[in-house]
Amino acid sequence: MLLALILANLKMIYRNRQALFWAMAFPLIFVVIFGLFRLDEPPDVNILVIDQSQDALSKGLIASLSAIAGYKLEERQDEAKARQEVKDGDKGYLLIIPEGMASLLEKRTNQEPVNVTLVYDRTSQTAPSIIATVQRFIEEANKQIVQAPTLLALQPEGIQSRKLTYFDFLLPGLVGMGVMTYSIIGIASVITLYREQKILKRILATPLKVRTFFIAQIISYLLLSVLQSIVIVGAGILLFKAHVYGNFLGLLLLVVIANIVFLNLGFIVGAIARNVRAADGLGNAVSMPMMFLSGTFFPTDLLPGFLAKAVKFLPLSPMLDAMRGVALDAKPFWDYPGELAILGGWIVVSSIVAIRMFKFN
């Protein structure tokens, strides 16, 4: 009987195209959108150059800056037009190398520097790092000019570490978002629809045990959450070369554990809502804040101090923290007892509330 109910529920989910959209297509759209953005690559730095010196020293400085990844230098002749381009925001920076720089250095007094001008937008948030980079090359040129001996040297020693990108961080968040959103809204809408159509009342008049009906519902949605996770992670790996270093079965187990909480929340929403439209709206009101506050897209450490600590106790937060530890750090899921304890507490509390609030009419 239980197996037949589970299969029947899965068939109904399959026939409901809108439900499948929320279950599969919606999180996959996020995977594709975020995967197309190259968020780990630094933005190009466009620097206009007025080289009034045209000597070996100025050309060496330009060549050194051009060799930096992401730095694009364009030489110009008209300083006024170049300044206007920076002022209009068409270009980010203007480097002005004075005429006869090499000869000026030869004639300078001990304390009198030769000024190389860098024009930039004061409102730019990246300006300090660009100024520091140009300053570093100027200082290196100073050392070469005075032929100072090298007293300290850096010995680079490279090791092979795990390659992690922002998309790797994001992918477990998209899994959690997809599972949470569909479980809360999906079960709430179904239960509300069953109540509207008097199906729940009819169940009471049949030999079917109520607990069997609800267990079948829960197992069906848990199986769907596993399929969701496989599809989302698979799409991330195949389409955008995402990295998953840990045990995939551990990830799925965390999905199942956390999804029990989300299904309970869906039952609670279904108990409160009077119709399907209200269930959809209330389900979104519950899931949306968690989606944005629990670290789906960005680390929760970026939130204000008190809020960053408070959101750790939302059910989605421990799920994502443990999933990222398993996926990215290759740790077993039992290395996260605090996160599992929070999820366990949510399972107990949400189950009690769902049982007490649920009504058949």
pLDDT in tens, 40-96: 666 778 888 888 877 777 787 788 888 777 788 888 888 888 888 888 777 888 888
Whether 23 and 58 share a structural domain: no
Q: Which region among 13-27, 146-160, 195-209, 334-348 has the lowest average model confidence (pLDDT)?
A: 146-160
Whether 289 and 183 share a structural domain: yes
Whether 216 and 131 share a structural domain: no
Whether 7 and 72 share a structural domain: no
Whether 193 and 241 share a structural domain: yes
> Which pLDDT score, from 0 to 100, does residue 159 have?
47
Whether 142 and 33 share a structural domain: no
The answer to whether 127 and 95 are in contact (CB under 8 A) is no
Is 158 a member of any domain? no
pLDDT tens-digit profile of 216-267?
Answer: 888 888 888 888 889 888 888 888 888 888 888 989 999 999 999 999 999 8
Is 70 a member of any domain? yes
End-to-end CA distance of the chain: 24
> Which pLDDT score, from 0 to 100, does residue 337 have?
92
Whether 192 and 56 share a structural domain: no
Boundary of a domain, candidates 146, 180, 196: 146
Is 173 a member of any domain? yes
Q: Which residues does 169 contact at the CB level (< 8 Å), separation at least 6?
A: 299, 324, 328
Answer whether residue 30 shows pLDDT above 90. no
Residue in 217, 224, 341, 209 with CA at minimum distance from that of residue 270: 217
pLDDT tens-digit profile of 131-177?
Answer: 888 887 777 766 666 555 544 444 555 444 567 788 888 899 999 98
Whether 257 and 323 share a structural domain: yes
Whether 271 and 170 share a structural domain: yes
Boundary of a domain, candidates 146, 174, 195: 146
Boundary of a domain, candidates 146, 176, 192: 146
Answer whether residue 180 shows pLDDT above 50. yes
Q: How would residue 349 be classed by pLDDT, with cut points 50, 70 and 90? A: very high
pLDDT tens-digit profile of 270-310?
Answer: 888 888 888 888 888 988 888 888 888 888 887 887 888 88
Is 153 a member of any domain? no
Is 99 a member of any domain? yes
d(CA 251, CA 272): 32
Q: How would residue 345 be classed by pLDDT, with cut points 50, 70 and 90? A: very high
Number of domains making up the chain: 2
Is 156 a member of any domain? no
d(CA 304, CA 328): 25
d(CA 244, CA 226): 16
Is 157 a member of any domain? no
d(CA 24, CA 231): 8
d(CA 186, CA 73): 54
CATH number at residue 134: 3.40.1710.10
Query: Which is more confidently placed, 261 or 30?
Result: 261
d(CA 116, CA 303): 40
Is 186 a member of any domain? yes
Place of tokens 């589970």: 6
Helical segments of the chain, H only? 2-15, 17-20, 26-36, 56-66, 79-88, 101-107, 127-146, 166-196, 199-204, 210-240, 248-272, 276-293, 305-310, 316-329, 337-357
Query: In Å, what is the CA distance from 343 to each residue of 166, 232, 260, 307, 314?
Result: 26, 22, 9, 19, 9
pLDDT tens-digit profile of 303-338?
Answer: 887 888 888 899 999 999 999 999 888 888 889 999
Whether 338 and 237 share a structural domain: yes
Whether 22 and 64 share a structural domain: no
Structural domain that includes position 184: 2-38+165-357
Whether 277 and 342 share a structural domain: yes
